[in-house]
Amino acid sequence: MNKFRVALCQLAVGKDKQQNVKNAIEKIRTAVEQHHSQLVVLPECFNSPYGTEHFDEYSEQIEQSDTWKQISSVAKELVLKNSNFFIFPRLIYNYRM
């Protein structure tokens, strides 16, 4: 039987977006490198405090999103080391249309 390992991450977040993203990347690395996860699922609002009152302050347009660039970069790096690996960030909830 083939096995598929999934990491469901629950993260503590604060008001510092860069620290939140750094924390998420650390958890992604741990899930893949130490636990051999093939799918890492991040919670919604992993880069900001939870609550609709924070959406305007933390929102990012996906094309210029620092969060997306950092998560994409670590995903590409880890894919080179682990060919069967995916990140599902739930959504970068905080983008403006």
In a domain, 97, yes or no: no
Give the total residue count for the chain: 97
pLDDT value for 96 = 47
Sort 40 into a burial class: Cβ within 10 Å, 0-12 / 13-18 / 19+: buried
Q: Considering its fold, how many domains does the chain have in total?
A: 1
In a domain, 39, yes or no: yes
User: Which structural domain, as residue segments, surrounds residue 28?
Assistant: 6-88
In a domain, 21, yes or no: yes
pLDDT digits (tens, 9 = 90+) for 42-68: 888 899 998 889 888 888 887 888 998
In a domain, 1, yes or no: no
In a domain, 26, yes or no: yes
In a domain, 66, yes or no: yes
Residue 45's CB: how many other CB atoms inside 10 A?
A: 21
In a domain, 93, yes or no: no
Q: Which residues is 40 bridged to in the sheet?
A: 7, 87
- Residue at token pair 């893949």: 32
Spatial CB neighbours of 75, under 8 Å, sequence gap ≥ 6: 28, 85, 86, 87
pLDDT value for 88 = 65
pLDDT digits (tens, 9 = 90+) for 3-40: 889 999 999 999 999 999 999 999 999 999 999 888 88
Q: Can you tell me the distance from the alpha carbon of 43 to that of 38, in angstroms, rounded to the nearest whole number?
A: 17
What is the pTM assigned to this prediction? Answer: 0.83
In a domain, 36, yes or no: yes
Beta strands 39-41 and 6-8: pairing type? parallel
